[in-house]
Amino acid sequence: MSLGQLGLLPPELIRQICYQLTLDDILNLQKSHHFLDVMIDNVFFDDMKVMEASCDAD
């Protein structure tokens, strides 16, 4: 499977992959392919924004 094809994986799988990586690895993965960059932004980092907002609300 090529890096570009990773972007075709379902969002839940992208999310689980990112949870297993370090932040540096996630950023390197984003730099490797434009479509992965967009998918990770829309799936993984969006989750982080929601979690941060939830923590701020508490």
CB contact at 8 A, 9 and 27: no
Closest CA to 3 of 33, 28, 38: 33
Q: How many helices (H) and strands (E) does the chain have?
A: 5, 0
Low-confidence ranges of the chain (pLDDT < 50): none
pTM of the full structure: 0.66
pLDDT (0 to 100) of residue 58: 62
pLDDT (0 to 100) of residue 46: 75
